[in-house]
Amino acid sequence: QLQKDLEEVKKLLTNATRKRVRDVLVAEKQKLELEIKNQPPPKPKDVAEEEKSSLGGYTVKINNYGWDQSDKFVKIYISLNGVQKLPAENVQVNFTERSFDLLVKNLNGKNYTMTFNNLLKPISVEGSSRKVKTDMVLVMCKKKREEKWDCLTQVEKESKEKEKAAYDTADPSEGLMNILKKMYAEGDDEMKRTINKAWVESREKQYKGDIPMDI
């Protein structure tokens, strides 16, 4: 899916002529390339198929979570009704120095997964763990260094820095453009199509001399 988004952005880039439109597309292209780069390598087909068949049911990707931190740990809270009733081996977390992935098997006939790649700072694999509580899984990532994390992942940090830089501008039209960039970067396929359509229509009107354009 990410690769398809990237190909579409590259296609739009070849047709874009206005600098600000190109800037939006270049920023989105870089974001997608970073996300693709940080994806874990695909598992061999036979291994992936074996895991899939052993799970049964269907798999749900977890997107909602909460997190906080202490001096030594980053803690991620994932709400899952009834998870405490599962056997311990059905709740698995695999850690690396800069990532973790959670797999909860056969909870009410479904499997649940959550993956965090490219964590903001390195963690101790040996010191990290998970705890199952009532209707909740707590993932404990042990910090390698006792320092504050501003966010969970490198991608989040870069996104926040770009957003801050974008809004630090006194030019109102620039501010509007930055809002569009943010909407485009975070939007789904439908949102991207809507914004692209608006740009095309605006350019057509500009060429006809109907309205002045600043993008």
pLDDT at 186: 75
For domain 59-143, say whether CATH 2.60.40.790 is its number.
Answer: yes
Confirm whether pTM is higher than 0.85: no
CATH code: domain 1-38 is 4.10.860
Q: What is the pLDDT of residues 85-103, one digit of tens each?
A: 999 999 999 999 999 999 9
Residue spans per domain, the chain: 1-38, 59-143, 169-210
Q: 59 by DSSP, 3-state: which?
A: strand
**Per-residue model confidence as pLDDT tens digits over 137-168:** 999 999 999 999 999 998 888 888 877 766 66
- Alpha helix (H) residue ranges in 38-130: 45-55
Question: Using one digit for the tens of pLDDT, what is the confidence trace for 26-78?
Answer: 888 888 788 877 776 665 555 445 554 455 568 999 988 999 999 999 999 99
Q: How far apart are CA 20 and CA 143, in angstroms?
A: 40
What pLDDT, on a 0 to 100 scale, did the predictor assign at position 53? 47
Q: CA 85 → CA 64, 82, 188, distances in Å?
A: 21, 6, 36
